[in-house]
Amino acid sequence: MSAAERFSPDWVSPPGDTIRDALACRDLTPDFLCQELGLSRTATDKLLVGDLFIDTELADGLATTLGASRQFWLSREFLYRERLGTQVQSAAPVDFATFKSELPLKDMRAFGWLKDFTELSGDQALKAFFEDTPGDWQRSGPCLAEQVRFRTSFAHKSNPAAVAAWLRQGVRSARRVNCAPWDAEKLRAALPAIRNLVRTKKPAEFFPKLVAIGQACGVAIVFVRTPAGCRASGATHFEAADKAIIQLSFRYRADDHFWFTVFHEIGHLLLHPTSPLFVEGQDYEMTEEESEANRFASSILIPAEFEDDLRTVRRDFRALARLAKRVGVSAGILVGQMQNRGLLQHHQMNFLKERYDWTDVADFTL
């Protein structure tokens, strides 16, 4: 396994070190950076030594001035704080009452997320849900919500606090999944075995097999239903250096969406192992990393040798079913991929997609 494929980024140094290198490569000075970012010299000095938090606005300024993407600078900041063991926060700590008011409490209770804390009072139970150690609810609550907010598009409809709660439940669920140490090479080698599952219709048959493959590769694959305010279809993050998490929601309850999301998340693990968090859904920015994961998923589902067939196949359900069998995917996946490529309109041939009901996946809901 190469060093690049392990989740062990050598980023103990502050983001300011990367900024200094970028300035030197471009023969620029800190004074120039002050002017471009609209910062005082004191604030710039703090930025260079890691004492000034890189928020969304500052990440945009760095991307414009020095290159790389907004997400690169946010991830650089996040990982630095993670390695230091400090909280990632963009302003003063959020008071608990404010954070609580944004949580989807009704669904959190209905989904059983708080059942392990019944002996605690309401607020204490909520804090315990977000805590690994007493008092650190800020880190897995408001600070995680802030990371979600960074990745949300300006037209977002998701509530970052609801997404943070969903992600936190994913971490808690993943801790019940015993895994071998994270191994990117094993995961890459397991891709054919995972792809062989895509024609299996019933979640009760394919989901345990998918989870078992993930366990062998150091990936806890968990299904967590989304609460109100969370529109995510999937997420990828690391619980620890040796354990990755792929979190799925079955939000769209169709086979094409589900399997595309699975391979999209796997793509993130293999292509972007040093990034701390990816959340998928219509509310999130289409970064270069997301585009790369999309291309990865598409190439797994529809190998390059079948691309011409997608364009020339007769738009008839029998012909599509025959082609799907040749490709080795379900007819619904084939239709979804043709829709994504603009070869079918999004309302066409949807009856070929396998639809899941909540009762199909209730046994796997965490």
Domains present along the chain, CATH in parentheses: 3-84 (1.10.260.40), 96-364 (no CATH)
Q: What is the phi/psi pair of residue 50, to 5°?
A: 90, 15
Helix spans in 7-95 (H): 15-25, 30-37, 41-49, 56-66, 70-84
Q: What is the phi/psi pair of residue 329, to 5°?
A: -130, 170
Give the model's pLDDT for residue 26. Answer: 84
Give the model's pLDDT for residue 195. Answer: 97
Residues 6+ apart with CB under 8 A from 288: 69
Q: Which two tokens stand for residue 65?
A: 């001035």
Along the chain (366 residues), what's the average pLDDT of each consecutive run of 10 residues?
40 77 86 90 85 81 84 75 54 70 93 90 87 73 70 60 92 93 96 96 92 96 92 88 90 91 95 81 73 95 96 96 97 96 95 86 64
Nearest-angstrom CA–CA distance, 210 and 193: 9
Nearest-angstrom CA–CA distance, 260 and 357: 18
E strand or H helix that includes residue 138: helix 137-140
- The answer to whether the CB of 62 falls within 8 A of the CB of 26 is no
Q: Indicate the pTM of the whole model.
A: 0.74
Residues 6+ apart with CB under 8 A from 285: 71, 151, 152, 153
Give the model's pLDDT for residue 105. Answer: 94
